[in-house]
Structure 1
Amino acid sequence: MADLIFKSLVALALLLCLSLADASSDVPFILAHKKATLNRLKSGAERVSVTIDIYNQGTSTAYDVSLTDDSWPNEAFNVVSGSMSKTWERLDAGGILSHTFELEATQKGVYSGEPAVIKFRVPTKASLQEAYSTPILPLDVLADRPPEKKLDWVKKLLAKYGSLISVITIVVLFVYLVATPSKSSAKSNKKRR
Structure 2
Amino acid sequence: MAARSALLFALLVAALSFTATAAGDAPFIVAHKKVALSRPKPGVERLAVSLDLYNQGSATAYDVAITDDSWPKEAFELVSGEVSKTLERLDPGATASHVFVLETKAQGRFQGSPAVIKYRVPTKAVLQEAFSTPILALDILAERPPVKKFEWVKTRRKIWRAGVSCFLRCSVYLPGREPIKIWWGKSRQEETLIYLWFTVLVAGCLPGETLDS
Identify the TM-score tier after normalising by the shorter chain.
Answer: 0.7 to 0.9
Q: How does 1:151-166 map to 2 (within 5 A)?
A: 166=162
Partner of 1:19: 18
Unpaired runs of 5+ residues, structure 1, are: none
Aligned to 1:110: 109
Aligned to 2:119: 120
Paired residues, what number?
Answer: 184
2:168 maps to 1:172: yes
SS in 1 for 2:170: helix
Bigger shift: residues 68-77 or 148-157: 148-157
Q: Distance in 2 between matches of 1:20 and 1:119?
A: 24
Give structure 2 stretches of 5+ with no counterpart: 172-180, 185-190, 198-205
Asked if the contact 2:107–2:142 (Cα under 8 Å) also holds between the matched residues in 1, the reply is yes
TM-score under structure 2 length normalisation: 0.72
Deviations 1:81-133 (A, max 9, x none): 11101111111111111000000012111111101001111111111111100
CA contact under 8 A between 2:168 and 2:183: conserved in structure 1? no
* 3-state SS of 2:113 partner: coil
Higher RCO, 1 or 2 (CA under 8 Å, sep at least 6)? 1
Give how far 1:7 is off. Answer: 5.4
Aligned match of 1:182: 193
Q: Check whether the contact 2:30–2:132 (CA below 8 A) recurs between aligned residues.
A: yes
TM superposition score normalised by structure 1: 0.79
Verify the 8 A CA contact 1:49 1:102 in the aligned structure 2.
yes
Query: Among the aligned pairs, what percent are the same residue?
Result: 50
Post-superposition offset of 1:10: 4.8
Instruction: Give the aligned partner of residue 49 of structure 1.
Output: 48
- Tell me which residue corresponds to 1:134: 133
Kept in 1, the 8 Å contact 2:37–2:46? The answer is: yes
Q: Which residue of 1 aligns with 2:80?
A: 81
Q: 1: distance between equivalents of 2:26 and 2:151?
A: 51
User: Matched residue of 1:83: which SS?
Assistant: coil
Larger radius of gyration, structure 1 or 2? 2
